[in-house]
Amino acid sequence: MLSGSEVSRVNPFENCKYELVKLGEVCEVLIGGTPTRSNYSYFQGSNLWVSIAEMNGQVITDTKEKISDEAIKKSNVKLIPKDTTLLSFKLSIGKTAIAGKDLYTNEAIAGLIPKDKLKILDKYLFWFFESKILNLNSLRGNNAFGKSLNITILKEQVQIPLPPLEIQKQIVSECEKVEEQYNTIRMSIEEYQKLIKAILVKTGICEEASISGGGGGIMLAA
């Protein structure tokens, strides 16, 4: 849902009151795969299989393509549990969604599974990445094959603030209220962006100065 063109180069978490942790320290990062399309029957199953085109910051409960049990056995797809945050890291980097059911994804999508749900919430992860306060594109470097990150970059170079659980719950609750307003009343995408980011500022995730100048996110140090 969130987008933007201008990018601040200020460290968004320079004065963050919370511990910064590597994504790989608090999450299992599962990368999907694509069964061979040479076997037509692999795409005649009932298992949900997500592509980037289907990720728009929503809960996914159905997919255009579905794969068979045999495709799962004969490929490198991985089961993503219900409620997991999905994050694209190739091509259209930074798109988000939530797994509304157990499902599988292609290789351009990572499933972020909390290692300890008493330490970090699924929905906090979702709203953190949905807010686009980080510009993940800044980590891709000069990839000759287009925009692409990898699992090592996601796990080791992406750092996120880890507030107490009660603060995470507050962020989730307030962001969901804004989303409800966005879906039910006339609100511009710019106003939606502003309200979501204001919640992160208010709760001490980042400072107003770090996100001024647009919704494109903050450049990360490579």
Q: Band of the pLDDT at 11, cuts 50, 70, 90?
A: low
Range of the domain at 185: 19-219
- Report the chain's mean pLDDT, rounded to a whole number: 87
Q: At which residue do the structure tokens 């470097």 appear?
A: 141
Residue 2 in domain: no
Residue 4 pLDDT greater than 50, yes or no? no
pTM value is 0.86
Residues whose CB falls within 8 Å of the CB of residue 112, separated by 6 or more in sequence, listed in order: 23, 27, 28, 29, 84, 85, 86, 87, 125, 129
> Comparing 144 with 37, which gets the higher pLDDT?
37
For residues 28-35, give the mean pLDDT. 97
What was the pLDDT predicted at 5? 38
For residues 206-213, give the mean pLDDT. 61
Residue 64 in domain: yes
Percent of the chain with pLDDT over 90: 68
Residue 141 pLDDT greater than 70, yes or no? no
Residue 137 pLDDT greater than 90, yes or no? no
φ, ψ (nearest 5 deg) of residue 193: -55, -45
Write the CATH number for 166: 3.90.220.20
Residue 41 in domain: yes
Q: What angle do CA 60, 64, 70 make, to 5 degrees?
A: 100
For residues 5-12, give the mean pLDDT. 45
Residue 51 pLDDT greater than 60, yes or no? yes
What was the pLDDT predicted at 210? 54
For residues 65-85, give the mean pLDDT. 98
Integer Cα distance of 110 and 67 in angstroms: 18
Residue 42 in domain: yes
Residue 99 in domain: yes
Considering its fold, how many domains does the chain have in total? 1
Q: Band of the pLDDT at 140, cuts 50, 70, 90?
A: low
Residue 9 in domain: no
Q: Band of the pLDDT at 208, cuts 50, 70, 90?
A: confident
Residue 161 in domain: yes
For residues 152-164, give the mean pLDDT. 94
Residue 201 in domain: yes
The string of DSSP letters for 118-165 reads: TTS-HHHHHHHHHTT-EEGGGGS---TTSSB--HHHHHHT-EEEE--H
Q: Band of the pLDDT at 94, cuts 50, 70, 90?
A: very high
Integer Cα distance of 75 and 16 in angstroms: 42
